[in-house]
Structure 1
Amino acid sequence: MSIEPYEPWVGSSYGKGINGTRVMLVADSHYVTEGEKRHKKSSHTTDIVKWWVLKQKNGKSNKHPPETPLFFRRLTEVVQSGLDFQATEPEIWDRLAFYNFIPEPMGTATSIPSRRQFKAGRDVFRKALDSITPEPNVILVCSMRCWDWMEAEELKVLETHPKRRWAYRIGESVAGPMHHPSYWNRSGMANPAKSWSNVLQELASFSKAPAP
Protein backbone atom coordinates (compact mmCIF):
# COMPACT_ATOMS: atom_id res chain seq x y z
CA MET A 1 0.00 0.00 0.00
CA SER A 2 1.45 3.36 -1.03
CA ILE A 3 1.95 6.04 1.61
CA GLU A 4 0.64 9.52 0.98
CA PRO A 5 2.07 12.69 2.58
CA TYR A 6 0.08 14.74 5.02
CA GLU A 7 -1.45 17.83 3.44
CA PRO A 8 0.89 20.74 4.22
CA TRP A 9 -0.40 23.73 6.12
CA VAL A 10 -0.48 26.69 3.73
CA GLY A 11 -1.59 29.97 5.30
CA SER A 12 -4.14 32.06 3.45
CA SER A 13 -1.52 34.82 3.02
CA TYR A 14 1.40 32.47 2.28
CA GLY A 15 1.69 33.75 -1.29
CA LYS A 16 2.52 37.25 0.01
CA GLY A 17 5.57 35.89 1.80
CA ILE A 18 7.25 37.60 4.73
CA ASN A 19 9.23 40.66 3.68
CA GLY A 20 9.52 39.23 0.19
CA THR A 21 10.32 35.63 1.20
CA ARG A 22 7.95 32.66 1.02
CA VAL A 23 8.93 30.19 3.75
CA MET A 24 8.16 26.53 4.27
CA LEU A 25 8.99 25.01 7.67
CA VAL A 26 9.55 21.25 7.72
CA ALA A 27 9.40 19.51 11.10
CA ASP A 28 9.71 15.89 12.15
CA SER A 29 6.52 13.96 12.84
CA HIS A 30 3.07 13.87 14.40
CA TYR A 31 2.51 11.75 17.48
CA VAL A 32 -0.91 10.42 18.31
CA THR A 33 -2.66 7.85 20.51
CA GLU A 34 -2.82 4.19 19.52
CA GLY A 35 -6.46 4.63 18.57
CA GLU A 36 -5.71 7.61 16.34
CA LYS A 37 -2.88 5.71 14.63
CA ARG A 38 -5.42 3.47 12.91
CA HIS A 39 -7.15 6.45 11.35
CA LYS A 40 -4.58 8.71 9.72
CA LYS A 41 -6.14 12.00 8.64
CA SER A 42 -4.53 13.70 5.66
CA SER A 43 -5.58 17.04 7.19
CA HIS A 44 -3.86 16.37 10.53
CA THR A 45 -1.13 18.99 9.97
CA THR A 46 -3.56 21.74 9.05
CA ASP A 47 -5.86 20.75 11.93
CA ILE A 48 -2.96 21.02 14.39
CA VAL A 49 -1.97 24.52 13.23
CA LYS A 50 -5.58 25.74 13.33
CA TRP A 51 -6.08 24.38 16.86
CA TRP A 52 -2.79 25.35 18.53
CA VAL A 53 -1.79 28.52 16.67
CA LEU A 54 -4.90 30.07 15.15
CA LYS A 55 -7.05 28.93 18.10
CA GLN A 56 -9.77 27.67 15.78
CA LYS A 57 -12.06 24.68 16.09
CA ASN A 58 -14.28 23.61 13.20
CA GLY A 59 -13.51 26.88 11.43
CA LYS A 60 -14.59 29.06 14.36
CA SER A 61 -12.66 30.84 17.11
CA ASN A 62 -12.16 28.61 20.13
CA LYS A 63 -13.88 30.10 23.19
CA HIS A 64 -11.35 28.39 25.45
CA PRO A 65 -8.11 28.46 23.42
CA PRO A 66 -5.22 26.26 24.57
CA GLU A 67 -1.79 27.70 25.32
CA THR A 68 0.42 27.59 22.24
CA PRO A 69 3.01 24.77 22.63
CA LEU A 70 6.68 25.69 23.03
CA PHE A 71 7.41 24.08 19.65
CA PHE A 72 5.30 26.63 17.78
CA ARG A 73 6.41 29.55 19.96
CA ARG A 74 10.07 28.83 19.24
CA LEU A 75 9.52 28.56 15.49
CA THR A 76 7.59 31.83 15.57
CA GLU A 77 10.55 33.47 17.31
CA VAL A 78 12.95 32.22 14.63
CA VAL A 79 10.76 33.63 11.85
CA GLN A 80 10.16 36.94 13.63
CA SER A 81 13.86 37.57 14.13
CA GLY A 82 15.23 35.92 11.00
CA LEU A 83 12.93 37.82 8.64
CA ASP A 84 12.52 40.95 10.78
CA PHE A 85 8.76 40.58 10.92
CA GLN A 86 7.17 41.61 14.19
CA ALA A 87 3.59 40.39 14.08
CA THR A 88 1.30 38.20 16.14
CA GLU A 89 1.69 34.44 16.10
CA PRO A 90 -1.49 33.85 14.01
CA GLU A 91 -0.44 36.58 11.55
CA ILE A 92 2.96 34.95 11.07
CA TRP A 93 1.60 31.44 10.58
CA ASP A 94 -0.97 32.78 8.14
CA ARG A 95 2.02 33.61 5.90
CA LEU A 96 3.87 30.28 6.31
CA ALA A 97 3.74 26.80 4.84
CA PHE A 98 4.36 23.95 7.30
CA TYR A 99 4.85 20.21 6.85
CA ASN A 100 5.94 17.16 8.84
CA PHE A 101 8.50 14.96 7.06
CA ILE A 102 7.47 11.54 8.43
CA PRO A 103 4.22 10.59 6.65
CA GLU A 104 3.03 8.24 9.40
CA PRO A 105 1.90 9.08 12.94
CA MET A 106 4.29 8.20 15.78
CA GLY A 107 3.32 6.96 19.24
CA THR A 108 5.02 9.56 21.43
CA ALA A 109 7.14 12.69 21.16
CA THR A 110 10.24 10.59 21.91
CA SER A 111 9.51 7.87 19.32
CA ILE A 112 12.28 7.42 16.76
CA PRO A 113 11.17 6.81 13.18
CA SER A 114 12.44 3.66 11.49
CA ARG A 115 14.58 3.64 8.36
CA ARG A 116 11.48 2.62 6.44
CA GLN A 117 9.60 5.67 7.75
CA PHE A 118 12.46 8.06 6.94
CA LYS A 119 12.65 6.57 3.43
CA ALA A 120 8.89 6.98 3.04
CA GLY A 121 9.25 10.62 4.10
CA ARG A 122 11.96 11.18 1.52
CA ASP A 123 9.96 9.46 -1.21
CA VAL A 124 6.81 11.58 -0.76
CA PHE A 125 8.40 14.92 0.15
CA ARG A 126 8.50 16.25 -3.40
CA LYS A 127 4.81 15.44 -3.82
CA ALA A 128 4.03 17.53 -0.75
CA LEU A 129 6.33 20.32 -1.94
CA ASP A 130 4.78 20.37 -5.41
CA SER A 131 1.33 20.86 -3.85
CA ILE A 132 2.42 24.27 -2.49
CA THR A 133 2.01 27.13 -4.95
CA PRO A 134 3.81 29.31 -5.52
CA GLU A 135 6.82 27.29 -4.45
CA PRO A 136 8.68 28.49 -1.34
CA ASN A 137 11.81 30.59 -1.67
CA VAL A 138 13.20 29.03 1.52
CA ILE A 139 12.70 25.63 3.14
CA LEU A 140 13.89 25.53 6.76
CA VAL A 141 14.09 21.91 7.91
CA CYS A 142 13.60 21.89 11.69
CA SER A 143 15.04 18.42 12.27
CA MET A 144 18.63 17.35 11.72
CA ARG A 145 17.69 13.67 11.44
CA CYS A 146 15.14 14.40 8.71
CA TRP A 147 17.59 16.69 6.93
CA ASP A 148 19.97 13.76 6.53
CA TRP A 149 17.33 12.02 4.41
CA MET A 150 16.60 14.94 2.10
CA GLU A 151 17.49 14.56 -1.58
CA ALA A 152 18.90 17.84 -2.80
CA GLU A 153 21.76 19.55 -4.60
CA GLU A 154 24.49 21.02 -2.41
CA LEU A 155 24.67 24.78 -2.87
CA LYS A 156 27.16 26.30 -0.43
CA VAL A 157 28.22 26.18 3.21
CA LEU A 158 26.03 28.16 5.58
CA GLU A 159 28.43 30.59 7.22
CA THR A 160 26.04 31.21 10.13
CA HIS A 161 25.32 27.55 10.85
CA PRO A 162 26.84 26.30 14.15
CA LYS A 163 27.61 22.91 12.55
CA ARG A 164 28.77 24.38 9.22
CA ARG A 165 26.04 22.56 7.31
CA TRP A 166 25.43 23.12 3.62
CA ALA A 167 22.52 24.95 2.07
CA TYR A 168 20.77 22.81 -0.54
CA ARG A 169 18.82 23.54 -3.67
CA ILE A 170 15.52 21.65 -3.83
CA GLY A 171 13.81 22.51 -7.08
CA GLU A 172 13.84 26.31 -7.12
CA SER A 173 13.91 26.57 -3.32
CA VAL A 174 16.92 27.10 -1.06
CA ALA A 175 16.93 24.77 1.96
CA GLY A 176 18.88 24.41 5.18
CA PRO A 177 18.62 22.64 8.56
CA MET A 178 18.25 23.57 12.20
CA HIS A 179 17.81 21.57 15.41
CA HIS A 180 14.27 20.59 16.30
CA PRO A 181 12.95 23.06 18.91
CA SER A 182 12.62 20.25 21.48
CA TYR A 183 16.42 19.80 21.34
CA TRP A 184 17.33 23.40 22.09
CA ASN A 185 17.71 22.93 25.84
CA ARG A 186 20.21 20.12 25.24
CA SER A 187 22.14 21.75 22.41
CA GLY A 188 24.61 23.64 24.60
CA MET A 189 24.03 26.75 22.50
CA ALA A 190 23.88 30.06 24.38
CA ASN A 191 21.05 31.50 22.27
CA PRO A 192 19.51 28.88 19.95
CA ALA A 193 16.73 31.17 18.69
CA LYS A 194 19.27 33.77 17.59
CA SER A 195 21.50 31.18 15.93
CA TRP A 196 18.68 29.66 13.91
CA SER A 197 17.28 33.10 13.07
CA ASN A 198 20.65 33.91 11.53
CA VAL A 199 20.49 30.73 9.45
CA LEU A 200 17.01 31.62 8.18
CA GLN A 201 18.20 35.12 7.34
CA GLU A 202 21.16 33.70 5.39
CA LEU A 203 18.92 31.27 3.50
CA ALA A 204 16.60 34.14 2.60
CA SER A 205 19.55 36.12 1.24
CA PHE A 206 20.65 33.09 -0.85
CA SER A 207 17.18 32.77 -2.32
CA LYS A 208 17.27 36.36 -3.56
CA ALA A 209 20.79 36.17 -5.01
CA PRO A 210 21.12 35.79 -8.79
CA ALA A 211 21.99 32.31 -10.00
CA PRO A 212 25.72 31.85 -10.76
Structure 2
Amino acid sequence: MSEIASVRPRSVGWPGLNLDEHQWPDTVRFLPYWGDLYWDGIDGQRILLLGESHYRKEGMSDSLEVTRPFTRDVFRGMAEPIRHTDDGPFFKALDSALTADGKPDAQDAADAWKRVAFANLSQAFAGSQANQRPRNEELLAGGDVLVEEILPTLKPTVVLVLGQTTWRLLPHGKREEGLPPFLARDVNRLNGRRRYIERRDIWSLDYTGGSALMTWVYHPSWNIDTWQDRALALHHLIDQANGR
Protein backbone atom coordinates (compact mmCIF):
# COMPACT_ATOMS: atom_id res chain seq x y z
CA MET A 1 0.00 0.00 0.00
CA SER A 2 2.96 2.34 -0.53
CA GLU A 3 0.91 4.72 -2.70
CA ILE A 4 -1.97 5.06 -0.28
CA ALA A 5 -1.55 6.78 3.06
CA SER A 6 -2.13 4.60 6.07
CA VAL A 7 -4.56 5.58 8.81
CA ARG A 8 -2.51 7.59 11.29
CA PRO A 9 -4.91 9.19 13.76
CA ARG A 10 -3.94 12.47 15.38
CA SER A 11 -6.07 13.99 18.07
CA VAL A 12 -7.77 17.24 17.09
CA GLY A 13 -10.66 17.07 19.56
CA TRP A 14 -13.53 19.56 19.53
CA PRO A 15 -14.12 20.41 23.21
CA GLY A 16 -17.52 21.33 24.51
CA LEU A 17 -19.70 19.80 21.78
CA ASN A 18 -21.48 16.57 22.64
CA LEU A 19 -23.27 15.31 19.54
CA ASP A 20 -25.40 12.91 21.59
CA GLU A 21 -26.88 15.86 23.48
CA HIS A 22 -27.16 18.24 20.53
CA GLN A 23 -30.70 19.39 19.80
CA TRP A 24 -31.22 18.62 16.13
CA PRO A 25 -34.03 20.49 14.32
CA ASP A 26 -36.87 18.49 12.76
CA THR A 27 -35.54 19.22 9.26
CA VAL A 28 -32.76 16.71 10.03
CA ARG A 29 -34.98 13.69 9.70
CA PHE A 30 -32.05 11.25 9.58
CA LEU A 31 -29.46 11.98 12.23
CA PRO A 32 -25.96 11.37 10.85
CA TYR A 33 -23.77 8.56 12.11
CA TRP A 34 -20.57 9.58 13.88
CA GLY A 35 -18.00 7.34 15.51
CA ASP A 36 -16.84 7.68 19.10
CA LEU A 37 -13.51 9.09 17.89
CA TYR A 38 -14.94 11.33 15.18
CA TRP A 39 -13.51 14.50 16.71
CA ASP A 40 -10.03 12.94 16.62
CA GLY A 41 -10.41 12.26 12.90
CA ILE A 42 -7.92 10.66 10.52
CA ASP A 43 -4.58 12.31 9.85
CA GLY A 44 -5.82 15.44 11.56
CA GLN A 45 -9.01 15.78 9.49
CA ARG A 46 -12.65 15.26 10.38
CA ILE A 47 -14.20 13.17 7.61
CA LEU A 48 -17.80 12.97 6.45
CA LEU A 49 -18.88 10.31 3.95
CA LEU A 50 -21.90 11.66 2.07
CA GLY A 51 -24.24 9.15 0.48
CA GLU A 52 -27.48 9.50 -1.43
CA SER A 53 -30.48 8.04 0.39
CA HIS A 54 -31.86 5.26 2.55
CA TYR A 55 -34.28 2.49 1.59
CA ARG A 56 -36.91 1.06 3.88
CA LYS A 57 -38.90 -2.08 4.30
CA GLU A 58 -42.43 -2.16 2.95
CA GLY A 59 -44.86 -0.52 5.33
CA MET A 60 -42.22 1.34 7.32
CA SER A 61 -43.35 4.74 8.53
CA ASP A 62 -41.78 8.11 7.61
CA SER A 63 -42.26 9.40 11.15
CA LEU A 64 -39.36 10.98 13.02
CA GLU A 65 -39.44 8.10 15.48
CA VAL A 66 -38.44 5.83 12.60
CA THR A 67 -36.16 8.10 10.60
CA ARG A 68 -34.21 9.79 13.39
CA PRO A 69 -32.21 6.73 14.54
CA PHE A 70 -32.16 5.03 11.13
CA THR A 71 -28.70 6.07 9.87
CA ARG A 72 -27.04 5.50 13.22
CA ASP A 73 -28.66 2.09 13.56
CA VAL A 74 -27.45 1.09 10.08
CA PHE A 75 -23.85 2.24 10.54
CA ARG A 76 -23.22 1.74 14.24
CA GLY A 77 -22.34 -1.90 13.61
CA MET A 78 -19.56 -0.86 11.23
CA ALA A 79 -17.56 0.30 14.25
CA GLU A 80 -17.62 -3.26 15.59
CA PRO A 81 -15.09 -5.89 14.37
CA ILE A 82 -17.81 -8.17 13.02
CA ARG A 83 -18.36 -8.60 9.31
CA HIS A 84 -20.76 -10.98 7.58
CA THR A 85 -20.46 -12.79 4.27
CA ASP A 86 -23.81 -11.33 3.17
CA ASP A 87 -22.76 -7.72 3.73
CA GLY A 88 -23.55 -5.73 0.60
CA PRO A 89 -20.90 -4.33 -1.75
CA PHE A 90 -21.54 -0.77 -0.53
CA PHE A 91 -20.32 -1.51 2.99
CA LYS A 92 -17.40 -3.63 1.83
CA ALA A 93 -16.31 -0.87 -0.54
CA LEU A 94 -16.34 1.69 2.25
CA ASP A 95 -14.31 -0.61 4.52
CA SER A 96 -11.68 -0.78 1.80
CA ALA A 97 -11.74 2.96 1.14
CA LEU A 98 -11.25 3.79 4.82
CA THR A 99 -8.48 1.26 5.41
CA ALA A 100 -6.80 1.43 1.97
CA ASP A 101 -6.98 -2.35 1.85
CA GLY A 102 -8.82 -4.56 -0.63
CA LYS A 103 -9.47 -7.19 2.04
CA PRO A 104 -9.30 -5.25 5.30
CA ASP A 105 -9.04 -6.82 8.69
CA ALA A 106 -12.36 -6.44 10.49
CA GLN A 107 -10.74 -4.74 13.47
CA ASP A 108 -8.91 -2.25 11.25
CA ALA A 109 -12.16 -1.42 9.46
CA ALA A 110 -14.02 -1.01 12.74
CA ASP A 111 -11.31 1.29 14.09
CA ALA A 112 -11.55 3.46 10.97
CA TRP A 113 -15.33 3.74 11.27
CA LYS A 114 -14.92 5.07 14.80
CA ARG A 115 -13.14 8.10 13.31
CA VAL A 116 -15.58 9.18 10.58
CA ALA A 117 -19.17 10.34 10.13
CA PHE A 118 -21.77 9.34 7.54
CA ALA A 119 -24.89 11.09 6.27
CA ASN A 120 -27.16 10.81 3.26
CA LEU A 121 -28.07 13.84 1.20
CA SER A 122 -31.78 13.03 0.98
CA GLN A 123 -33.85 13.53 4.09
CA ALA A 124 -36.55 11.15 2.81
CA PHE A 125 -36.68 7.42 2.14
CA ALA A 126 -36.13 6.66 -1.54
CA GLY A 127 -38.32 3.57 -1.55
CA SER A 128 -38.05 -0.08 -0.64
CA GLN A 129 -35.60 -1.27 -3.34
CA ALA A 130 -32.15 -0.18 -4.45
CA ASN A 131 -33.39 0.67 -7.95
CA GLN A 132 -35.89 3.18 -6.55
CA ARG A 133 -34.07 6.50 -6.62
CA PRO A 134 -34.86 9.62 -4.61
CA ARG A 135 -36.46 12.50 -6.45
CA ASN A 136 -34.13 15.29 -7.51
CA GLU A 137 -36.17 17.69 -5.40
CA GLU A 138 -35.42 15.64 -2.29
CA LEU A 139 -31.69 15.68 -2.97
CA LEU A 140 -31.69 19.42 -3.65
CA ALA A 141 -33.62 20.11 -0.46
CA GLY A 142 -31.34 17.78 1.45
CA GLY A 143 -28.38 19.88 0.35
CA ASP A 144 -29.84 22.89 2.14
CA VAL A 145 -30.38 20.86 5.32
CA LEU A 146 -26.83 19.53 5.04
CA VAL A 147 -25.25 22.98 4.84
CA GLU A 148 -27.58 24.75 7.24
CA GLU A 149 -27.88 22.15 10.00
CA ILE A 150 -25.63 19.09 9.68
CA LEU A 151 -22.28 20.57 8.64
CA PRO A 152 -22.23 23.35 11.27
CA THR A 153 -22.72 20.67 13.91
CA LEU A 154 -20.35 17.97 12.60
CA LYS A 155 -17.80 20.56 11.39
CA PRO A 156 -16.09 18.24 8.88
CA THR A 157 -12.96 19.36 7.08
CA VAL A 158 -13.17 16.66 4.38
CA VAL A 159 -16.30 15.40 2.58
CA LEU A 160 -16.14 12.43 0.21
CA VAL A 161 -19.31 12.33 -1.89
CA LEU A 162 -20.39 8.79 -2.74
CA GLY A 163 -22.00 8.98 -6.15
CA GLN A 164 -22.02 11.20 -9.21
CA THR A 165 -25.75 11.95 -8.86
CA THR A 166 -25.28 13.05 -5.26
CA TRP A 167 -22.39 15.27 -6.34
CA ARG A 168 -24.32 16.75 -9.26
CA LEU A 169 -27.40 17.57 -7.17
CA LEU A 170 -25.57 19.00 -4.16
CA PRO A 171 -26.47 22.67 -4.68
CA HIS A 172 -23.60 24.11 -2.67
CA GLY A 173 -19.85 24.52 -2.93
CA LYS A 174 -17.39 26.07 -5.34
CA ARG A 175 -14.49 24.72 -7.38
CA GLU A 176 -11.02 25.28 -5.90
CA GLU A 177 -9.02 26.27 -8.96
CA GLY A 178 -5.67 26.21 -7.16
CA LEU A 179 -5.90 22.63 -5.93
CA PRO A 180 -4.91 19.62 -8.05
CA PRO A 181 -7.88 17.45 -8.99
CA PHE A 182 -8.08 13.83 -8.03
CA LEU A 183 -7.43 11.55 -11.02
CA ALA A 184 -9.10 8.14 -10.91
CA ARG A 185 -6.36 6.29 -12.73
CA ASP A 186 -8.04 2.86 -12.86
CA VAL A 187 -11.64 3.77 -13.69
CA ASN A 188 -11.23 3.23 -17.45
CA ARG A 189 -8.50 0.62 -17.24
CA LEU A 190 -10.95 -1.97 -15.94
CA ASN A 191 -14.09 -0.48 -17.50
CA GLY A 192 -12.91 0.11 -21.04
CA ARG A 193 -16.22 -0.33 -22.87
CA ARG A 194 -17.28 3.22 -22.06
CA ARG A 195 -15.46 6.28 -20.86
CA TYR A 196 -15.98 7.26 -17.26
CA ILE A 197 -14.88 10.52 -15.72
CA GLU A 198 -11.31 10.34 -14.46
CA ARG A 199 -10.76 13.95 -13.37
CA ARG A 200 -12.61 14.81 -10.15
CA ASP A 201 -12.21 18.47 -9.20
CA ILE A 202 -11.76 19.57 -5.61
CA TRP A 203 -14.44 21.90 -4.32
CA SER A 204 -14.76 23.82 -1.08
CA LEU A 205 -17.98 23.56 0.87
CA ASP A 206 -18.49 26.47 3.24
CA TYR A 207 -20.84 26.40 6.21
CA THR A 208 -21.38 28.46 9.33
CA GLY A 209 -18.26 28.05 11.44
CA GLY A 210 -16.07 26.23 8.94
CA SER A 211 -15.31 24.83 5.51
CA ALA A 212 -14.54 21.42 4.02
CA LEU A 213 -12.79 20.19 0.90
CA MET A 214 -14.78 17.70 -1.12
CA THR A 215 -14.68 15.56 -4.23
CA TRP A 216 -16.60 12.55 -5.45
CA VAL A 217 -16.36 8.92 -6.46
CA TYR A 218 -18.82 6.78 -8.39
CA HIS A 219 -21.35 5.09 -6.15
CA PRO A 220 -19.50 2.27 -4.36
CA SER A 221 -22.23 -0.26 -5.17
CA TRP A 222 -21.68 0.18 -8.92
CA ASN A 223 -18.13 -1.17 -8.99
CA ILE A 224 -16.97 1.49 -11.47
CA ASP A 225 -14.14 2.97 -9.42
CA THR A 226 -11.71 0.47 -7.95
CA TRP A 227 -11.24 0.33 -4.21
CA GLN A 228 -7.77 1.78 -4.75
CA ASP A 229 -9.21 4.85 -6.45
CA ARG A 230 -11.79 5.35 -3.72
CA ALA A 231 -9.07 5.15 -1.07
CA LEU A 232 -6.81 7.48 -3.04
CA ALA A 233 -9.64 10.00 -3.48
CA LEU A 234 -10.14 10.13 0.28
CA HIS A 235 -6.46 10.54 1.04
CA HIS A 236 -6.04 13.10 -1.73
CA LEU A 237 -8.62 15.22 0.08
CA ILE A 238 -6.88 14.66 3.43
CA ASP A 239 -3.52 15.65 1.95
CA GLN A 240 -4.95 18.80 0.38
CA ALA A 241 -6.70 19.76 3.62
CA ASN A 242 -3.48 19.26 5.57
CA GLY A 243 -1.68 21.47 3.06
CA ARG A 244 -4.03 24.43 3.52
Q: TM-score, normalising length from structure 2?
A: 0.71
- Check if 1:166 corresponds to 2:197: no
**Cα drift, residue 69 of structure 1:** 3.1
CA distance in 2 between partners of 1:55 and 1:21 (Å): 22
CA distance in 2 between partners of 1:4 and 1:113 (Å): 16
CA distance in 1 between partners of 2:86 and 2:153 (Å): 30
- 1:56-94 residue CA offsets vs partner (Å, 9 max, x unmatched): 9xxxxx9x9785432112111112129xx9852221111
- Identify the residue that residue 162 of structure 2 maps to in structure 1: 142
What is the correspondence of 1:60-139 to structure 2 with a 5 Å cutoff?
Answer: 67-81=86-100, 88-107=108-127, 108-126=129-147, 127-132=149-154, 135-139=155-159
CA pair 167-17 structure 1, distance change in 2 beyond 3 A: same
**2:94 is aligned with what amino acid?**
L
CA pair 3-19 structure 1, distance change in 2 beyond 3 A: closer
CA contact (8 A) 2:93 2:220 kept: yes
CA contact (8 A) 1:118 1:146 kept: yes
- Identify the residue that residue 180 of structure 1 maps to in structure 2: 219
1:28 to 52, 57, 64: 52
- 1:71-123 residue CA offsets vs partner (Å, 9 max, x unmatched): 112111112129xx985222111111111111101211111211221222122
CA distance in 2 between partners of 1:170 and 1:200 (Å): 16
Could you say what secondary structure the match of 2:202 adopts?
strand
Considering Cα pairs closer than 8 Å and 6+ residues apart, tell me whether 1 or 2 has the greater RCO. 1
**1:32 is aligned with what amino acid?**
R
CA pair 45-66 structure 1, distance change in 2 beyond 3 A: farther
CA distance in 1 between partners of 2:227 and 2:80 (Å): 24
RMSD: 2.6
Could you say what secondary structure the match of 2:143 adopts?
helix
CA distance in 2 between partners of 1:65 and 1:165 (Å): 32
- Identify the residue that residue 72 of structure 2 maps to in structure 1: 46
> What runs of 5+ residues in structure 2 fail to find an aligned partner?
1-25, 185-196
CA distance in 2 between partners of 1:38 and 1:196 (Å): 32
Q: TM-score, normalising length from structure 1?
A: 0.81
CA distance in 2 between partners of 1:48 and 1:89 (Å): 16
CA pair 147-16 structure 1, distance change in 2 beyond 3 A: same
